[in-house]
Amino acid sequence: MRFNTLASAASLAALTAAAPNERTFAVLRFNGDGFMTEGRLDPIVNPGELSAHHHGIMGGSNFGKTVNKEDLLDSKCTTAKIANDKSNYWVPTLWFQSPTNGTLYKVPLWYMNVYYFFEPTDDKVVAFPPGLKMLVGDPATRDAPKFGGGTNLIKNGKPIQPIQFTCPRKDNNAPLYPANSNGKMAGMADPNNKGAGAGFPMVECDGFASPLRQDIHFPSCYNPEAGLDDYKNNMAWPTEENWKQNCPPGHVHVPHIFYEVYWNTPLFVNEWSHDGTSQPFVFSNGDATGYSSHGDFLAGWDVKTLQTIIDTCNAGDIGMDKCPNIPGGLNTDNDCHITVDDDDAMANSRVMTSGMQKLPGNNKITGWGKGGVDGGSVSPPADESPVGPVAPSAPSAASVPIKAAVAKEQPNAAPEAPKTTEAPKAPASPAEGANGDMKTVWDVVTVTDYTTEFGPEATAPAKREVHDHMARHINRRGGRRS
């Protein structure tokens, strides 16, 4: 789909509700630059305490260690383009581990979309109740999914598999993973889509404006008996009969949401060998396989606003913000950010002055040979005491990290390729710290209107606001498209 086609006068009718036996959808986009906040907080899994790993969070500003039923509705600001959406959407942050010395660099978010699908159903699709908490994926696993590299979102006797990676490339015939991979030493390709699969791809994702993408689907059947907080039991996947998706008895049919998280991996294109047998990316929980990809959602919608969108808007790819007559209107705030206190100021900083020698929370890096673990599950720490990372070799004083500037989002337009600044010169010798340890000192240059990250230098991709890939979203069960 193309914007100029969908936005034409002949397509305005698509913004109204379709027949009940057709899927409708609208894409939620976000304002501003990067995540609303980052930190080791997870009010779903670890309410009131630090999370075991680092997250990037979008949405309402009332996010914190503890979020109760309607707290998000009182957020002072939100990154969502819809003013009355104060929900929080979050994922583990992504890191690049230098193959040379093990130094870790945070991979910047390029941008994120959330698709709101309203499935054909005999049920009434209703807005999320405020405070509903959902988690999809298993942060502890390093095992390949049993279903292989494809997806399955329907209860049909096969394992549910709601998570993939998508990797657009200039050469879409080039394989993402080794042939006949069983998932133990590399990811597995989607048999129905050459551009997607389970686990981190082994190649550079160099498609136009489409770097490495994390894809996460959420179930759409809420069980009120389990309640808002019981994220392990309060959601179920629908069944399908006669082309309609229905929820189990006693469940409430809510929107099916789908995260697209684009990571600015091209910044690191020249820093690793594309040999088809290894890859350098790792999640903040220490997972070097990508199998533990996961996402969290905490509902903070004004119920009337979301119900209006469900009932009247089929905006599709052009965006939920193009829906007519949205209660509360659009959000014009492009600078909704908060700072969280979680003892990881270096990791949370929007401007990094160097790489890190360990992940936030000191999570050990495991999977595909890293840390001596090939697959298997990793139990999260019982407390917040360090579990010990893989010890990387220290960079030499002459090893100078290169600064790559990431352009801020220009709403509704693809930004120009970012400018870069010169990397700081390494000092003649490291400075000695107060405790007798050796510290490297850098002079940091601030560039107006850019967020500066240290990492390998490369041209950042242009942000793509409109997609051509809806055919794969229409049905993610592997094969037939509704």
pLDDT digits (tens, 9 = 90+) for 213-265: 999 999 999 999 999 999 999 999 999 988 899 999 999 999 999 999 999 99
In a domain, 416, yes or no: no
Q: Which two tokens stand for residue 427?
A: 């000092």
Q: How far apart are CA 281 and CA 291, in angstroms?
A: 12
| Tokens 């990811």 found at | 187
Average confidence (pLDDT) over 377-393: 35
Q: 281: closest CA among 69, 96, 140, 82?
A: 96
In a domain, 455, yes or no: no
Residues 6+ apart with CB under 8 A from 19: none
Where does the pLDDT of residue 369 fall: very low under 50, low under 70, confident under 90, or very high at 90 and above? low
Residue 470 host element (H or E): helix 470-474
Highest mean pLDDT of the ranges 120-134, 392-406, 408-422, 461-475: 120-134
Please count the CA atoms within 13 angstroms of the CA of 81 that sit on its side-chain side.
17
Where does the pLDDT of residue 462 fall: very low under 50, low under 70, confident under 90, or very high at 90 and above? low
Q: Which two tokens stand for residue 54?
A: 């680092």
In a domain, 428, yes or no: no
Which DSSP state fits 242? T
* Low-confidence winner among 19-28, 136-145, 243-252 (lowest mean pLDDT): 19-28
In a domain, 221, yes or no: yes
pLDDT at 354: 77
Average confidence (pLDDT) over 171-192: 92
Q: What are phi and psi of 472, to 5 degrees?
A: -80, -25
In a domain, 417, yes or no: no
Residues 6+ apart with CB under 8 A from 242: none
Share of the chain above pLDDT 90, in %: 61
Q: Is the Cβ–Cβ distance between 198 and 183 less than 8 Å?
A: yes
In a domain, 155, yes or no: yes
Long-range residue pairs from 179-182, CB within 8 A, at least 24 positions apart, any chain = 182/144
Q: 184: closest CA among 148, 144, 149?
A: 144
In a domain, 420, yes or no: no
User: What b/e string do you get for 290-299 counting C-beta neighbours within 10 Å, with b at 16 or more?
Assistant: bbbbbbbbbb
pLDDT at 440: 32
Domain total in the chain? 1
84 residue type, one letter: N
User: Kind of pairing, strands 188-190 and 235-236?
Assistant: unpaired
Quick count: other Cβ atoms within 10 Å of Cβ 138?
A: 15
| Tokens 């396989």 found at | 289
Where does the pLDDT of residue 2 fall: very low under 50, low under 70, confident under 90, or very high at 90 and above? very low
Q: Is the Cβ–Cβ distance between 47 and 294 less than 8 Å?
A: no
pLDDT in tens, 324-352: 999 999 999 999 999 998 888 888 886 66
Q: What are phi and psi of 111, to 5 degrees?
A: -170, 170
Q: How far apart are CA 439 and CA 427, in angstroms?
A: 11
pLDDT at 149: 95
Q: Please give the residue range of the domain that contains residue 200.
A: 1-395+467-482
Where does the pLDDT of residue 463 fall: very low under 50, low under 70, confident under 90, or very high at 90 and above? low
In a domain, 444, yes or no: no
Residue 246 host element (H or E): strand 244-246
